[in-house]
Structures are given as C-alpha cells and as structure tokens.
Structure 1
Amino acid sequence: MDKFRITMPSPQSYIRSLGPISAAIFDDRGIIIDCNRQFTALFNGNFEIGKTPLSELLPDENNLETLRLRWENSQETGENVIVKANTGPAAPSEIRCSLCSAEHGERKMHILVLHDKGVAGELSLLQQFSGTFIKDVNLGVLLVDNEFRLVDVSELACSILGIDRQQSINRPMEDIFQSVPKEHQLVQRTLLDGVLVRNHGVSWTNNRERYELLMDSNLLRDEAGNVVGAYVIFKDVTNLRSLEQQVQRSDRLAMIGQIAAGTAHEIRNPLTSIKGFLQVLNRTFYQTGMEREQGYTDLMLGEIDRINELVNEFLLLSKPKNVTYDKIDMSSVIRDILPIINNQAVLHNVTIQYQSVYQIPKIVADRELLKQVFINLCKNGIEAMVQGGTLTIIERVEYRERKVHVEVHDAGPGIPAFLIDKIFDPFFTTKDSGTGLGLSVCQRIIHDIGGSIRVSSKGYGTTFTVSMPFSPS
C-alpha cells in the first residue's frame, strides 16, 4: 500500500475525529465533498459542498496533484508544506498542511488537513472555542450565511428541531423547514435584515415532543462591516417553564385546598339535613302516588349528590391524608382498573388496547391514588372519542433515567395549542358538565409521588404521559 494512502471504514468519521484540527475531503477533480466543523469555521463557510474547487480555497494551488507532489517531497526533506488560504477578507493566511489519499469501498478520495502556523495560531484558539461552543450539550446553535443557507448546526439543535445535520448543511433554511408554515418557522429570513431577538420565548413541537425554547440571535459582519451571516442560539427551558407552571398551580391548589378544607364541613352539614328531609318527602310522594312531585325530589337528590362529589374533589386538592406509600407494580395497578375502564369504553364504542412491560420495576406510591389518576385519564380519553375509536395504554421503562412511563393515548380531536397550557389549571374544563378539577387532582397526586405528568397533542389525538422514578432493587 502507498505510504500516503489510508484505508478506513469512513473518511467522514476520520475528519470529525481530529478535534480542533481543520480537515476536508476532496474528490479526484479537486472538488470539496465534505469537511468538519473546524474547516467550515476556518473559511467562514465561504464554499459550497460538491461545487467549490481546491483552487478557490488555496489560491496558489492549481490542483491536487501539485499539492500531493509537494507533500511527498516534504516527507523526504522534512520541511513543512505551507499554503496560503482564503480564510477571510484580509490577506491569505499562511497555514501548514498535510495531504493523504483515502479509500472507501471503490471510491478514492483525498484528505486535506490544515495545521495552524504563525498568525494562524490565534485562529486556532478561535477554532477550538467555536468547535467546543457548537458542541455544547446545553445549547442549540444555528449558523447561516448571507444567502440564508445553513452553514453549521449543533447536535442539540438537530435533536430538538428534528433535522439531519449531513442533509441540512449548505441548504436554504426554507428547504430545511419546508414542512412548517413560513410564519411558524423558528428562524426567519428577516434575521439577515437586522430583525434580532433577545430572550425570546418560543414553543416547538417535534413529533409528539413539545419544547419551550429561549432564543437569541445576532448578525455576523466582516472587518468592513458587511453582513456575512447570522447566528441563532437557543436553550431548552422546557423543564424550567414546566417547574414554574407547577409551582404556580401548586400555589393555587394549596389555596383552594385550604378554603375547601375549612368550608367542606359547613357545606356538608346543611346538605345532610336537606338530603334527609328530601328522602322522607320522596318516600311519602311514592306512597301517595304523587309521581310528579316524586320526580322533582329525585332531581333535587341527584343535584345534592353532585354537590357532594364536588366537595370531595375540593378536599382532594389539599394534601391527601392517610396516604400509604409502598413498593407497587405499575402493571398490576393498570390491570386492576381495566374492568372499570372497559365498562366505560363499551358505552362509548371504544376499544381498549394495553401494552404492558414484563417484570416492570416497582415504584413507591399509593396504589389507590394511582388508580384514581389512571381512571381519570382513561375516562377523559374515552369521553373525547365521541365517534368511537381506540384508547391505548402503553408502559415504557427508561433504565438510564430510572423512570417508568405510562402513556394514555386517545384518538379524539386533540387539544388546541392555545388551550394545552391551561388544562391542569383548577376549574378549567372543555366539558359542559365538568368541574375542571380532575386533572388538577391527578397532577397533585403524581407530583406528591415525585413524578411528572405531561400532555401532548398535535392535530389528532392526545397523549398523557405519567412518569415516575424507580429505585434499583
């Protein structure tokens, strides 16, 4: 094998393993076909994959063959190969380089590696900062040029936005997000006109996952003050926003619970008396054949029962009393409530589909309170499917996060985006006869266990995900 030729599983993975060193892959014609982030940063993205020849980046090098001969001679003499690179509007930078051939299958390529020298040492530090910054796991970063093409993007941004980095680099932003209506795209072309944002909160939905993002943007200018591109930086603050909302709801629930606990006794006493006398009247009307009057009392007794149920829900908003925490099997809780859910489903022409996990890890919780949570969630899902359908209950285990997840998914019309943030608020309901306390109670129970409950809805169907931590056995 030629000593200047290497064989590897993937030249692309090789150049991305070089850390802060800039590297690119060229074909036999001298056209750049791939590069790492450091190479993109070194040339400020002023090239196009699949089109730009070597001579545009290294103006003194006519072709790859000449550069290859210089590199081979340097191995005999021990001298460095110095090239001039068009790294910016100033004079070309002098940079030390090396070159080798690569084979991937039957395809032959050439790998150009640029090592910093002299004044380029300062650029090396910037490159290292740039490479580290864009890989920061806590930040989403997008870099666009003055033609609104994506020059680079961080891994976190790819994950949250649902894009593939290799397929997106050097493509127009409109093409990358063509499935999203223009007015809802995360990055607008007006960014290049100076329409910048600071600490701008936006929501983004990727499949069933909803993210809350805090976004900043700014322009990039050359030494002459001309706009050469722009960047967008965002941070995922979903957990923080969720925590703030939970605290606000908890405060409201605590206040309502205190009011309910103080007034429930005063409400129930007169209700008990009224109900007792109505039952006496109801029996008397029945015995004397006064059917119309008996119907009135039946109606009043039913309304009193509704008031009692509302008072009971109020009391559940305060911290539950006599809670018994124990290690329980989540699958057994779901199986216990299935007969109740099935009876409700039959009345609404709904089919129940349950996917369990074998030997699911045990969690610490109150069994009866968990039953109440899942009965409520399943009941809501069944009632949402007015035309019938399938209610799906899915168990999942995330061993890395040490969490058990239970998803309750209905095939109803979904929840509008402008309402989805309100559904856990006390007294908020979309039902004609609902109290708006069911989901608030469910959230309080799950939070007391140390878990979380999330909702997602995207045009069709709604999914509630209950997540609870488990400890190693």
Structure 2
Amino acid sequence: QAVQVVLAEEVAGAQMLDRIRDIGTFNARVLETVSSGIWVLDEQGRTVFCNRAGQELLTGRPSRQAASLDFFYQIGRGDLVKDLKPEDEVPELILDACLGLPEEKGLVLSALRHAPGGTFRGPGNITSRRGEVIPVLVQTSFMEGQARNQTWLVVVAEDQREARQLEQERMRVGQLQGLVEMSATLAHEIRNPLMGLSAQAELLADRLPGDDPRIKYIDVITREVDRINQTITRMLNFVRPYEPTLAAADLEVIVRDCLELCRERALDKDVELVARTAPGPGAAPEFRLDEAQIKQVILNLVINAIDAVPAAGRVQVELSYSDELGLPDRRRGGSVLGPGVVIEVLDNGPGFADGDLARIFRPFYTTKSSGTGLGLSLCHKIVLAHGGDITAARVGDATVFRVVLPREADLPSAAQARTEEA
C-alpha cells in the first residue's frame, strides 16, 4: 500500500510536470503569435527572451540571432542618458535615447525601477540591423528573474509604421478635400466675371461690321477667356476624387478614334500619324475601363507629341498585349504579373531634359510657354485610378510615353489613389 502511495505521488508529480511543460509551451506559442515585439532583458541588458515579432523588428526576418543581440545597441542613440542619475524618473524617450554603454545600461534600469508604478509607456524608435529606423510605441515593466533577488525588464514594442502610414493618408485626404473646396470656390469666383467678359465681347462683335479691324481684338479676348475656362476645368478635374466607370472597351478602336481626332492637327504640320499593334496570339482581348477617360489620356499624349515634333515629323502609337505583364501591385507594393496592355506614344521631337522627365507628371509643371501643367498630371491620375502606371523616357532619338493598364482594372481605393497622386 505504501508503494502504491509513492507511485501515485510520482505519477501525480509527473503529470504536474507535464502540465507545467504544456502551459510553458502554450505561453511560448502565444507570445510567438503576438504582433508586438517582446523582449526580456536581464540586469546587464542582455536579451533573455525575444519573440518572433521582436526578431523581425531587429533583423528584418525571424532569426535566432536576434535573441543574442544586445537590445540597447539596437535602439536610437542620443544624449539623454549621459546625465541620468539612478534616482531620476524615466524621461519620455528614454528607450529612444540609450547610448548602449554598460555603465549607462545600469542607470537606465535603475531609473526604470524608480518610474511611477515601475512601468513606462511612450513613443520611440528601433534601428534594425539593416539600418531602418522603425517608429514604435514602447512599454516597459519589471518581472522577477529565475534567481532570487533577480529583476528582469520586459520591453514591448508595437510597430507603428502602418499606423503612421494610415495617419499620413488621412492627413493627405483631408488636405485634398480642402484643396477641392478651395478650387471650387476659386472657380466660381473667377468664372462669374469671365462670363460677363465673354458676353460683352459677343455683344461688341455683333455691333461691329464683319470687316472692322477691331474684331481681331475681340477674338483675342474670346480665345483667352476660353483658355482660362479650360484651365479651371482641368484644375477641378485634377483635384476632384475620381472613380473610373468601367465598361467593356476595344483599345484598338479607341486608338483609331484618337488618331482621327488629331488628324487635322497633324496635317497642319505635315506630321505622320501611325498606329501599330504588336502581333499576339488570337484576337485582341476585351478590356474593362473608363473609355472616355482613357481616350482623354491617349489624346493628350498624341497632341503633346504632335506639338513637340518638327514639321514633317512622326508620331506613332503602339499597342502590345501580354498575359504576363508587370503590373503595379497597389495593395502590397512592387509589381505582379497579370494580363494587360502597354500603350506607347513615340515621337521624334527634341525630347525632354533629364530634369524635366523627373517632374513632368507634377501638377502645374510645364515646358510649354502656353501650357497649364495639368494635362499630364491628369493623365497620371486617370491611369493610377485604373490600377496602371505611366512613365516617360528617352529611347534613342525618340521620346516614349508608356502606359500600362491591366485587362480587368484592379482598382485601388479612392483614398489610396489620391494618396499616391499626392
């Protein structure tokens, strides 16, 4: 019977150990799934424990190496710690300002012990081993170590990169909304007197005989009023939120229509207009896009090309389809392969200077003496809203505008498209 009691106690003890191990394993798994970085540091600042998120913050990827890294060397350095005394309370950015020297680590830990409630919470930065400065929200507290009278520091760092990006997006959307309201007010205030000018010019023209030399001055007034109105319309189109209205469309028909609309302008300069479609398997695929807006993009690019080339120049529009085209991945960044089309507008004009190429899609930037600087910006906005991309380059003797569009527009959110445009 005594043996049975002993065996029962041994079994109970073994079961208790198994349960403790299970609890330990469970707790470890829980810590590994937490999205915040968690470190446990001993009194010398050495890392006792580092979870998966903490490893990724320090090294950019899960790595056992992070567990051996000295945490204090991984965070931003400053001068606050040098004058810190053991009795001082924790300054707001203490973990963002550690120098990482051994004697200062002791001061930091001592100061943390004297912090109200033994805890600290505040903003900071962690510098990863790749040199990336990561904004974090830091919280610290103390726990008993494995040995008697041993105190360990627990540091929890919540990655704030995504929160910062969302806040920046919110601010940009707010700024854009303010710009929309201001632009609408300005447009109203400017267009009212313009309507009066235009009406008076028409009245004067009606009262003058057709051969009166003063008619030409009235024509100048009318043209300039129209130009200002067009500028206001473009400005409003640029700042207003834009969501494409998608429908099935044939890009080859769109290109032919655009070239036909530009034919008279090209003939005036004896410019040759050419449309080409790269050979591909089967018939041209059908696209879903906002036909009116894509037509506006192509028209703008072709008209700019005609204006840029010398007399007897050449403007060519090329279409090429692919099932494995590098398309912008708006959600995750980078690019992704998918079906789409490349529309290239080439001309043999003088081209852009390198400095101009980097800025031509910015609002109000223009190389034309009579330009508004909104045409290419609006093209950029339309293409982005379709989930595509537009670039400009000098290739040999040709200036090339390259528009990439997905076959089925993978539309970014309106806020995201506006953020990218901003």
The two structures have a TM-score, normalised by structure 2, of 0.49
Bigger relative contact order, structure 1 or 2 (CA pairs below 8 A, ≥6 apart): 2
Say which structure is richer in helix.
Answer: 2
